[in-house]
Amino acid sequence: MAIEQTARPAAQRPARPRQRREREEELLVWPDLLFPEFICAVLFTITFILLSVFIDAPLLNRANPDITPNPSKAPWYFLNLQELLLHMDKAWAGVILPTIAIIGLIMVPYLDRDTEGRGVWFGTKNAVKIFGFGAIYASAINILLILFDAGKFEAITRWVPGLQPIRETQLDGSEVLVNKGLLSVKDFEGRFAWPEDLRNIPVPFNQQVCDIYFKDLHLWCNFHLNLPGIMSGQVIPLSLIFGFTVAMIYTVFMLGWLRTRRDLMLVLFTGFFFTFLVLTVTGSFFRGPGQELVPPWGIVVDEG
Amino acid sequence: MAVEQPGRPRNTRERFQILGDLIYDKMFHNFVWQSIFRSGYPNTPRNQMLAVATNVFLHLHPTRIHRTHVKITHTYCLGGLTFFMFLMLTVTGVLLMFYYVPSVDRAYNDIQAIQTDVRFGQLMRNVHRWTAHGMVIFVFLHMFRVFYTGAYKAPREFNWVVGVILLVLTLLLSFTGYLLPWDQLALWAITVGHGIGGSAPYLGDETQLVLFGGFEIGQNALIRFYTLHVLALPLAAAIFMAVHFWRIRRDGGMARPL
C-alpha cells in the first residue's frame, strides 16, 4: 500500500514553475547585443575625441642622451617593476618575478579545475569576503613595506645590535655620527660590519670553465658570491614575498573562508592585483627626484 | 516593398508621408543599393539572425545569446572596448605613419610637424596617445572581470592563456610606441626599460642586443621599435585576437553558471 501513501493526485502537489527551455532564455544578437555595442563604440569615440581636443599628448625636448631627467620613469604600466627594483635585486624584480607572474597567470585555469562559481561575479560563497580581505591585506602590507624601505620606521629598529652609525654632514660642514635604525632592507648589506671575505666568496671553477666552454655565457666567468648582498637583495625580499603570501592564505584558511581551489585562486589573484596596483600608484605618484618617497605635490621633475 | 499609391492626399501630413515613402523607395530600392545590401532592414527575427550569420563583420557573433550576457553589468563591454581601442589605434596610427620617419635625425621634427603643420595632426596624435593608455587600462579591467566572474574555467582555459598573451602584446605595443616621438620622455622611459632588460640573469647583454639593438638607445633601437610597433606586434595581436574571439564561440559562448 506504499504506492497509495506516496502518490498524491496532481492537483494536491505544490505548483512548481515550469523550467524554461534554453531557447526561451535567449535573445537575438540583432538588435539586443549589436545596438549596445554600437552605442558603446559611439560613446567612447566621443569621449576619447573630446579628451584629445582638450588635453594634448606630452612632447618634451628632443631626446638627448647627455641630459638625464630626474626622476626618469618608465611608462606607467611598468612603474610597478621600477618600484620593485628599488627594494630588491634587479634581476629578480625586473625579469624573474614578472616572468613568474605571467606564468602564474597562465596557469590559473589549470590549477583551478572545478566549475564552481563559473560565469557569476564572485561566484563562491565567501568570494566577496576573500576579495575584501585580500585587497586590504595586500595594500596594507605593501604600503608598510614601502614605508619601511623609505626609512620611516627606523626609530623602532635602533636596538638592532651591530648596526653602524650613519655619518651626517652638518650645516657648518662638520661631520657627526648619528645612531639610526634600519633605513631600508639594503642597510642589511651596508650598515653591518661584515667580514670582507663574506662579500667576495669565489665559486668553484671560477675563471677556468668560462675560458673553455662557456665563453659566451656569462655564467661562471668572473663569479664571486656577495653573501650580505644576496641576503639583502634576494633572500630577505623573496622570503618576505613568500612569507606574506603564505600568511595571507593561512589567515583566510583559518577564518574558514577557504573551501575550494577557486577560493585559493581568489586569494592569490586579489593579492597579486592589489600589490600591482599599490606598486604602480606609488611609482607613479609618490616617487620624486632620486626615487625618494614624496607626496604627489612634491614631485618636481628636474629636466637636467 | 512597393509603395501603394493612395488617392489624393487629404492633408499636409499625408503629403509628407507620400513624399517620404517615395524618397525611401528611390534610395533603397534601386539596383545600386541592392547590389551592396542584398536585403532591406531585417525586421523579423528570422532576417535578423540571417543578417548576423551572413555578414562578414557580424558573423563572429552568434545569432542568439543568453539573456544574462546582454546585461551591461555582466561584462561592462570591456573586451569589446579593448578591441575597439585597437581599431581606433590602427586608424590613427596609419594616419600618423604618413608623416613619421623613424630616424633619429627626423623623428622629433616629424612629430612637431604633425602637431603644427598637419591638419588635425595634433588631434590624431592625441587620440592615438589616449586610446593607447585606454587600451592598456581596458585590457587590465577585462582580465579583472574575467577572473572575478570565473570565466576562465573549463572549457575556456586556453582562451584565458590567449588572453594573457594578448595582455603582454598590448603592453609591448604600448612600450614600443613610447620611444617613437624621440623626446626626453621617450628616451629616458625606454632607457629604464633597457636597464630592466639588461638585468636578466645570464642573458642581460643578449636581451639588450636583441630588443634594443645595442647597449644604448639609438637609431638601432628606434628602427626596431618602429618595425615592431607598426608591423610585427599588431599582426601578432590581430592573429591572437582572431583566435581569442573565435574560441569564445567554439567554447560555447560566454561563461555561464551551471
Write the ipTM.
0.88
**Element holding A166 (H helix, E strand):** strand A166-169
Q: How many angstroms separate the CA atoms of A119 and B66, rounded?
A: 12
Q: Is B130 within 8 Å of A29 when comparing Cβ atoms? A: no
Distance from CA of A230 to the nearest CA of B (A): 14
Q: How many angstroms separate the CA atoms of A116 and A26, rounded?
A: 23
Before A71, cis peptide (omega within 30)?
A: yes
What are the two backbone dihedrals, phi and then psi, of residue A202, each rounded to the nearest 5 degrees?
Answer: -70, 150
What average pLDDT is seen over chain B? Answer: 91
- Taking CA–CA distances from B153, the nearest residue in chain A reads A109
CB B190 within 8 A of CB B221: yes
For residue A36, the SS3 value is helix
- Taking CA–CA distances from B55, the nearest residue in chain A reads A30
- A positions 124-153 inside 8 Å of B (CB): 127, 131
Q: Is B127 within 8 Å of A49 when comparing Cβ atoms? A: yes
CB B94 within 8 A of CB B169: no
Residue with cell 588631434: B123
Q: pLDDT per residue over A30-69, tens digit each?
A: 889 999 999 999 999 999 999 999 999 999 999 999 999 9
User: What secondary structure does DSSP assign to chain A, as a single string?
Assistant: -HHHHH---GGGSPP-PPPPPGGGGEEEHHHHTHHHHHHHHHHHHHHHHHHHHHSPPP--SBP-TT---BS----GGGHHHHHHHTTS-HHIIIIIHHHHHHHHHHHHHHH----TTTTSTT-STTHHHHHHHHHHHHHHHHHHHHHHHTTTTGGGGTT-TTBPPEEEE-TTS-EEEE-----STTHHHHSB---GGGG-EE-TTTTTHHHHT-SSS-TTSS-EE-HHHHIIIIIHHHHHHHHHHHHHHHHHHHTT---SHHHHHHHHHHHHHHHHHHHHHHHHHSB-GGG-B--GGG---B--
Instruction: With beta carbons under 8 A apart, name residues in chain B contacting A96.
Output: 201
Range name among A200-204, B8-12, B53-57, B197-201 with the lowest pLDDT average: A200-204
Instruction: With beta carbons under 8 A apart, name residues in chain A contacting B147.
Output: 108, 265, 269
Nearest to A28 among B48, B152, B255 (CB): B48
Residue-by-residue pLDDT tens, chain A, 304 positions: 455 555 556 666 667 777 777 777 889 998 899 999 999 999 999 999 999 999 999 999 999 999 999 888 999 999 999 999 999 998 999 999 999 999 999 999 999 988 888 888 998 889 999 999 999 999 999 999 999 999 888 888 888 888 888 888 888 888 888 888 888 888 888 888 888 888 888 777 666 655 555 455 555 566 778 899 999 999 999 999 999 999 999 999 999 999 889 999 999 999 999 999 999 999 999 999 888 899 998 888 877 6
Q: How many angstroms separate the CA atoms of B243 and A294, rounded?
A: 45
Residue A285 C-alpha cell reads as 605618484
**Element holding B134 (H helix, E strand):** helix B121-148
Cβ–Cβ contact A230 with B under 8 A: no
Instruction: With beta carbons under 8 A apart, name residues in chain B contacting A117.
Output: 150, 153
- The C-alpha angle with vertex A235 and arms to A233 and A240, in degrees rounded to 5, equals 100
Q: With 50 as the cut, is the pLDDT of residue B196 above it?
A: yes
Average pLDDT over residues B81-103: 96
Residue A138 C-alpha cell reads as 595586500
Q: What is the pLDDT of residue A1?
A: 47
* pLDDT-above-70 percentage for chain B: 97
Cβ–Cβ contact A120 with B under 8 A: yes
Q: What is the pLDDT of residue A6?
A: 59
Cβ–Cβ contact A169 with B under 8 A: no
Confidence of residue B1 (pLDDT cuts 50, 70, 90): low
Q: A12-26, A80-94, B84-98, B199-213: which has the highest mean pLDDT?
A: B84-98
Cβ–Cβ contact A72 with B under 8 A: yes
Distance from CA of B14 to the nearest CA of A (A): 30
CB B121 within 8 A of CB B115: yes
Write the burial class of residue B47 (CB in 10 Å: 0-12 exposed, 13-18 middle, 19+ buried).
Answer: middle
Cβ–Cβ contact A223 with B under 8 A: no
CATH tag, B73-250: 1.20.810.10
Range name among A143-152, A183-192, B146-155, B226-235 with the lowest pLDDT average: A183-192
Interface test with B, best of A62, A97, A222 (most B CBs within 10 A): A62
Q: Is B187 within 8 Å of A115 when comparing Cβ atoms? A: no
